[in-house]
Structure 1
Amino acid sequence: MRIGYYAHHHGSGHCRQADKLAALLSPELRQQMTVFTSLPADGYRFSSINDEHIVRLDAEDERPDDVLAGRAGEYWQPSCLHYSPVGNKDIQRRSWQLLDEIHQRQIDLMIIDVSAEVAMLCRTASVPYLYVRLAGERDDAPHLNAFAGALGLLAPYPKVLEAAATPDWVRQKTLYLDFLPSKAQGLPSFCEFMDELMTLTHDDAIHKQLVASVDKSFIVTVIKGYGGHEAIDAKLPKLRQILPDAIIVSLGPINDEVRHCVDIAAHVDDVTPFIAYSHLLLMACGLNAIAQAYDYATPLIVLPDVRPHREQEVMAEALIEQGRALSWPQFIAKASSMDSQNLLSSLSTNNKSIDHEQTALMSKQANLAAQRFMNSIADYISVKDWFQDWLLPQLDLKPKK
């Protein structure tokens, strides 16, 4: 089947998810997948999808000449849409562009990640689609309509992290793909990781501490993106107070006024070695970040960013309920009852002898669901046959005839 993937332009995460799915296909079958997005070319660099299979859509921002604003209120806002300006020339062009490209490229099935408006456009145009469900409480009318209009729903996270409030019919209609695999990169040895840390600072005192850290000190890594690093930065003074002797590494942006609270502040291309070899992680609950950390034994403190539909809060609650993470208040409570050395020892099971081969195997097994899904798309020519013979048995559902 020829697949179209609509990737929302807020952040690079949606394009990254499309890239991860495409990577599960053989190189020749990747030519059957087209990505539609408004994200500029410099917003994300695809590794599994060629430029000729990426359609850059017009923006959908409000314009001063719109007849009605995107959220015009009770008497003008359709309940099935989150955002729908009227008379917006850009949205008119992108809608025509989207449908025309679907027609010209003979797209059989769309995957929508995420947009209630694109979902309704496809359903109205009789284009079959699957809808990507992100974490959080998405029980508003536009989301529920987008879910109902889909052939099925895709959740790029494990079922155990599902929100408690999710309706039963939504759960049943969902194919849980677990966390999608990132592009495979070899994990360096612990010694190689320590050598990398050495290159990230010119401070001789920290160099000496790093040499000693192999046996004595603890490494705490704080991972941040650009979507809300201020909230995590605000916790750094308290973190330093609690762990005065730890080596604290900040990855990503950092405010100047708290730079003194960390030993190393840097930007790196791959955070995986830091996740694998740190004794403690502090991070938000974005989907891609949690997907990277989930299968490692490193203790995790979660500080969810404020997002629509409690997206990160719900993910954090599920991780805490599983015992996979601590909240910041839980960490503070633990810290108040013991000294810093005993605190890190009580939290950490991590050291350089962790069986990372077993971790990689667990991750590979967890990704079998996504691989089976992509294999099914490659195996079928007809959407109808795939829907009836493969998807419906997976969901144990049957629509009315």
Structure 2
Amino acid sequence: MTRPIGIYVHHQGAGHWQRACMIGRALDRPCTLIGTFSERDPGNAPGPFVDLPDDRIAGFDGDDREVDRPTSLHYAPLGHSGIRARMARIAAWIAEADPVLVIVDVSVEVALLCRLLSVPTLVVRLAGTRTDLPHLEAFRSARRLIAPFPAALDGGEMPDWVRAKTLFSGFLGAAPAPAAAEDGRIVVVFGQGGEGGRLALLADAADAVPDRAWHVLGPVHGTSAALSLPANLHLHGWVTDVGAHLVAASLVVGGGGDGVVAAVVGAAKRFICLPEPRPYDEQAAKAEALALLGAAVVVSDGWPAAAEWPDLVRRGLALDPAMIAGLAEPDALTRTVSEIEAMAQEIEDRRRPGTWTSSEGLVRR
């Protein structure tokens, strides 16, 4: 029987879920997604899934508020029954399914739990400055790392051994889009993991650049009842296929999350990047790398004032879209899945009768 691969999916934002589904569908092996899916549609999962209890404490902001947390952990609140049940359910699935490998996207604690349970891991390494002890220990525990972006966007200080252990997958959802005629529109994209847009600020921006249609994708807060919305502002809400809305765009405005950047790269669109605050400067680091490549105009201090938009649009339209298009790798998903399959096969080969694995490698009896 072919042993399965597990994929642990973090619940912040949509990028982890989308990445897991893409990898799971492309794998030849059975694949089980593991995570808290209360904000997802598990019916879209590529196979079976393990739904975990939520681990967030009241007023969750990423901090467990523990003063004596072990230095190798990021999040370990005491007295939380959801975490006990969560970790027990992961351990129970591992004991029953005997996975050949678990892909962890992302959690230091889950990566270390899998290592304690004697399961090889492939840990996702996100952008940003992740040289703190918990990250490095998770990286050290893993058989290999996946960076879900091109090597050209790998910024920040990182030990050589971490880079050597990393497979740069490229943007898995960024296959180049077919060329299409642009109609001058500006498309603004708000991802699921951020605060969304503010209707009043969007209206001000559209008023400031009245000769272009503004199409807004994703969550927007505020009510139009108290505003006179400009005729060139169009709100689409949450959409399932961002790429289809980018085809006619002359300029895209969005954050620095993997999903948004991957969509812009795949569509080869001029990009104004507004990185949102994230732990370890994840979006800021990616935005800085895009700017250094000449692939985006970056504004790092929040949504620009209305008076800034005419010049920002002018600068954005002056970008050469070939610069951002060059970051697309048509074979990114195929290449990444091939590496995962090869890793899984190597692990299985090492468990064949007559062999065992030591820190020195494969030793025959």
Query: What are the Cα deviations for residues 198-222 of structure 1, in whole angstroms up to 9, with x where unaligned?
Result: xxxxxxxxxxxxxxxx7xx621111
Q: Pick from 25, 28, 46 the counterpart of residue 49 of structure 1.
A: 46
The alpha-carbon distance between structure 1 residues 329 and 125, as it changes in their structure 2 partners (threshold 3 A), is: closer
RMSD value, Cα: 3.7
- Between the aligned residues of both structures, percent identity stands at 31
Q: Pick from 200, 206, 213 the counterpart of residue 247 of structure 1.
A: 213
Alignment of 1:270-285 (within 5 A): 270-285=241-256
> What SS does structure 1 have at the residue aligned with 2:216?
strand
Which residue number in structure 1 is paired with residue 202 of structure 2? 236
Cα shift at 1:363: 4.0
Cα distance in 2 for residues equivalent to 1:338 and 1:269 = 30
Which residue number in structure 2 is paired with residue 59 of structure 1? 54
Cα shift at 1:342: 6.8
Query: What are the Cα deviations for residues 295-325 of structure 1, in whole angstroms up to 9, with x where unaligned?
Result: 3332100001111111111111111111111
Paired residue type of 1:62: I
Q: Pick from 11, 14, 17 the counterpart of residue 15 of structure 1.
A: 17
Which residue number in structure 2 is paired with residue 260 of structure 1? 229
Cα distance in 2 for residues equivalent to 1:25 and 1:337 = 44
Paired residue type of 1:150: A
Which residue number in structure 2 is paired with residue 303 of structure 1? 274
Q: Pick from 255, 260, 276 the counterpart of residue 289 of structure 1.
A: 260
Alignment of 1:2-401 (within 5 A): 2-26=4-28, 29=29, 32-40=30-38, 42-45=39-42, 47=44, 49-50=46-47, 53-62=48-57, 70-73=64-67, 76-181=68-173, 218-230=184-196, 236=202, 239-240=205-206, 242-254=208-220, 255-256=222-223, 260-261=229-230, 262-267=232-237, 268-328=239-299, 346-347=318-319, 363-377=329-343, 379-380=345-346, 382=348, 384=350
> What SS does structure 1 have at the residue aligned with 2:229?
helix
**Does structure 1 retain, via aligned residues, the 8 Å contact 2:271–2:316?**
no
Cα distance in 2 for residues equivalent to 1:314 and 1:360 = 19
Cα shift at 1:115: 0.9
Paired residue type of 2:236: A
The alpha-carbon distance between structure 1 residues 152 and 378, as it changes in their structure 2 partners (threshold 3 A), is: closer
**Does structure 2 retain, via aligned residues, the 8 Å contact 1:2–1:107?**
yes
Cα distance in 1 for residues equivalent to 2:169 and 2:228 = 39
Cα shift at 1:185: 12
The alpha-carbon distance between structure 1 residues 290 and 45, as it changes in their structure 2 partners (threshold 3 A), is: farther
Cα shift at 1:274: 2.7
**Does structure 2 retain, via aligned residues, the 8 Å contact 1:283–1:302?**
yes
Cα shift at 1:168: 1.8
> What SS does structure 2 have at the residue aligned with 1:79?
coil
The alpha-carbon distance between structure 1 residues 124 and 347, as it changes in their structure 2 partners (threshold 3 A), is: closer
Cα shift at 1:78: 0.2
Query: What are the Cα deviations for residues 127-181 of structure 1, in whole angstroms up to 9, with x where unaligned?
Result: 2211111111112211111111111111111111112322222111111111113
Cα shift at 1:279: 0.6
The alpha-carbon distance between structure 1 residues 340 and 227, as it changes in their structure 2 partners (threshold 3 A), is: closer
Question: 131-140 or 6-15, which moves further after superposition?
Answer: 6-15
**Does structure 2 retain, via aligned residues, the 8 Å contact 1:16–1:46?**
no
Query: What are the Cα deviations for residues 240-283 of structure 1, in whole angstroms up to 9, with x where unaligned?
Result: 35522111111122233677254211133312133232111101
Cα distance in 2 for residues equivalent to 1:292 and 1:308 = 22
Provide the aligned length of Structure 1 versus Structure 2: 341
The alignment's TM-score, normalised by the length of structure 1, stands at 0.73
The alpha-carbon distance between structure 1 residues 285 and 345, as it changes in their structure 2 partners (threshold 3 A), is: closer
**Does structure 2 retain, via aligned residues, the 8 Å contact 1:279–1:344?**
no
Query: What are the Cα deviations for residues 282-303 of structure 1, in whole angstroms up to 9, with x where unaligned?
Result: 0111111111111333210000
**Does structure 1 retain, via aligned residues, the 8 Å contact 2:130–2:280?**
yes
Unpaired segments of 5 or more residues in structure 1?
Answer: 191-213, 351-358, 387-397
Question: 364-373 or 102-111, which moves further after superposition?
Answer: 364-373
Cα distance in 1 for residues equivalent to 2:167 and 2:19 = 15
Cα distance in 2 for residues equivalent to 1:340 and 1:131 = 38
Paired residue type of 1:293: V
Query: What are the Cα deviations for residues 344-372 of structure 1, in whole angstroms up to 9, with x where unaligned?
Result: 7634769xxxxxxxx79964234443132
Cα distance in 2 for residues equivalent to 1:63 and 1:301 = 35
Give the number of the structure whose residues are more often strand, by fraction. 2
Cα shift at 1:379: 4.8
Query: What are the Cα deviations for residues 90-109 of structure 1, in whole angstroms up to 9, with x where unaligned?
Result: 22222221111101011121
Cα shift at 1:79: 0.2
Give the number of the structure whose residues are more often helix, by fraction. 1
The alignment's TM-score, normalised by the length of structure 2, stands at 0.80
